[in-house]
């Protein structure tokens, strides 16, 4: 459409330049001037149309342009700060295990504190080997 518009504008401009040069027709003329004006317009239009049509057409292969990667700044990583707490002070009960006779209150206290699996009815505890052992304090 753009080329057609250019050709039309140039043809009209050429016609506007040529037409005023012809005088008005007089009565009794044999219309030779009209034929001459038509021939001049035809030649002018042909020249202009040829000039517009003969312009080189540039065509290039489409090339792929890799777009730049979008960069997103990474989100900050929040890590919890370590919280230091003082260890609770456990009250250690020191039981002297020497010279404790079985079935005394000190012996019960010692065996129940020393062995989690202590059975006060039988006086035994379950060892790592899975067997029952009698609690000896000393």
Span 78-108, pLDDT tens digits: 887 877 777 766 666 555 555 688 888 888 9
What tens digit of pLDDT does each residue of 45-81 get? Answer: 888 887 787 777 777 777 777 777 777 788 888 887 8
- pLDDT at position 23: 62
Quote the pTM value. Answer: 0.30
31 vs 126 pLDDT, higher one: 126
112 domain-assigned: yes
Q: Which domain holds residue 101?
A: 94-138
42 domain-assigned: yes
- pLDDT at position 116: 92
User: Distance between terminal CA atoms of the chain?
Assistant: 114
63 vs 126 pLDDT, higher one: 126
Using CA atoms, how far apart are residues 122 and 137, in angstroms rounded to an integer? 15
- pLDDT at position 119: 93
Using CA atoms, how far apart are residues 10 and 48, in angstroms rounded to an integer? 7
58 domain-assigned: no
76 domain-assigned: no
79 domain-assigned: no
Beta strands in 23-131 (DSSP E): 124-126
Q: How many domains does the chain have?
A: 2
46 domain-assigned: yes
82 domain-assigned: no
69 domain-assigned: no
pLDDT tops 60 at residue 3: yes
Query: Whats the size of the chain, residue-wise?
Result: 138
């Amino acid at each position: 459409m753009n080329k057609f518009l250019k050709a039309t504008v140039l043809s009209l401009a050429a016609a506007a330049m040529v037409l005023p040069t012809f005088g008005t027709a007089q009565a009794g003329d044999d219309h030779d001037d009209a034929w001459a004006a038509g021939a001049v317009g035809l030649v002018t239009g042909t020249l202009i149309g040829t000039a517009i049509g003969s312009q080189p057409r540039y065509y290039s292969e489409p090339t792929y342009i890799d777009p730049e990667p979008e960069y997103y700044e990474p989100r900050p990583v929040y890590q919890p700060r370590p919280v230091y707490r003082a260890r609770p002070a456990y009250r250690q009960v020191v039981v002297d295990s020497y010279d404790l006779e079985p079935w005394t209150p000190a012996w019960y206290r010692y065996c129940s504190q020393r062995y989690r699996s202590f059975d006060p009815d039988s006086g035994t505890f379950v060892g790592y080997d899975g067997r029952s052992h009698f609690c000896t304090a000393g």
